[in-house]
A and B are shown apart, each in its own frame.
Chain A
Amino acid sequence: MTSRERFLAACACQPVSRPPLWVMRQAGRYLPEYRALKAKSSFLEMVRTLELATEVTLQPLRRFALDAAILFSDILVIPEALGQGYHFRDEGGIGMDRALQSRADIDALAPAEAVPEKLAYVSATLRMLKTELGGQKALLGFGGSPWTLATYMIEGGSSEAS
């Protein structure tokens, strides 16, 4: 049984000899090889560049026998594609380039139909990952829930309490 088969069986509640394993934020700062890449490129460059996003996604799988890879990206690529960019504040936390404060601010966002084209790099990264994984490991995509995205878009970033 491949890791991918094990993962999909567990999703379908079919019995498996042991649970599949992956770890949220498995491609992250605890890995020295991630920090080495991060020293050369910003987080946003890593997200947007096909080769870098693929490399970062695969880093934990080279080191550990995990059953799934999760796309290296951020939930805030959606507001960004709608015209509301984001950045990491020097003091920590996330800042949106502006906050949505009125109906007019919302109306000024790009139409939802523009999203897939603006995020074509995400599809390209997933395709490259699919090839790299050769069907052995499960490949996960992700996104934020509408509520959670709205909290960032209306607040203008992460708040003190977070």
Chain B
Amino acid sequence: MIAYFRAQIEAGADAIQIFDSWGGLIAGGDYNAASLCWIREIVAALPKDFPVILYAKGTAAQLVDQSFTGVKVISVDWTVPLRTVREQLPRTIALQGNLDPVLMNLSPEIVRNEAGRLLAEMNGAPGHIFNMGHGIMPQARIECMEALVDTVTGWKASP
């Protein structure tokens, strides 16, 4: 993985996302030995301060431990209020997320409301990359993506 990521960086990647999609299966006490320690080793072998994003679905209880792996960004799934995670993690760690992807299958109005709510909740706190809490689904509607893009790109922090 180290050689592969180095090759991606050399080829021009601005950031790397590590998907620990099944990290959430691991018993809490084994999570470090089974997964996190290898991620830490990978991040340590990449250029210093290169942005690595870690996405591990279903690991809400492990987010604090993840913030000590050297990654710059933690991608949070949709099950946790992002504001709460913001309060738990060091300010030097950026957060990515975490709209429930199923909303994208519903209506543009719902997407506008929920995306707006998430933006308001974070209120421009530095270190937020807007994303879904998991991949967008095949059933998602184009109108919902349009509503999402309009809402996020048109947003301004309230004074």
Contact = CB atoms under 8 A, between A and B. Distances in A.
B128 A19 contact: yes
B126 to A, nearest CB: 5
The secondary structure that dominates the B interface is: mixed
Contacts, number: 208
Contacts of A146: 1, 35, 38-39, 42
Contacts of A100: none
* Interface residues of A, dominant DSSP: mixed
Contact of A19 (B55, B104, B122): B122
A75 B17 CA distance: 11
A116 interface: yes
Contacts of A140: 13-17, 53
A22 B55 CA distance: 14
B31 to A, nearest CB: 9
A60 B132 CA distance: 15
Interface in A105-152: 112-113, 115-116, 119, 122-124, 126-127, 129-130, 138-148, 151
Interface residues of A, number: 59
A110 to B, nearest CB: 12
A72 interface: no
B16 to A, nearest CB: 5
B159 interface: no
B12 A130 contact: yes
A130 B11 contact: yes
A4 interface: yes
A46 B75 CA distance: 26
B138 A28 contact: yes
Nearest 9 pairs between A and B by C-beta?
A: A25-B135, A141-B8, A130-B12, A141-B13, A13-B127, A147-B35, A29-B138, A145-B20, A126-B11
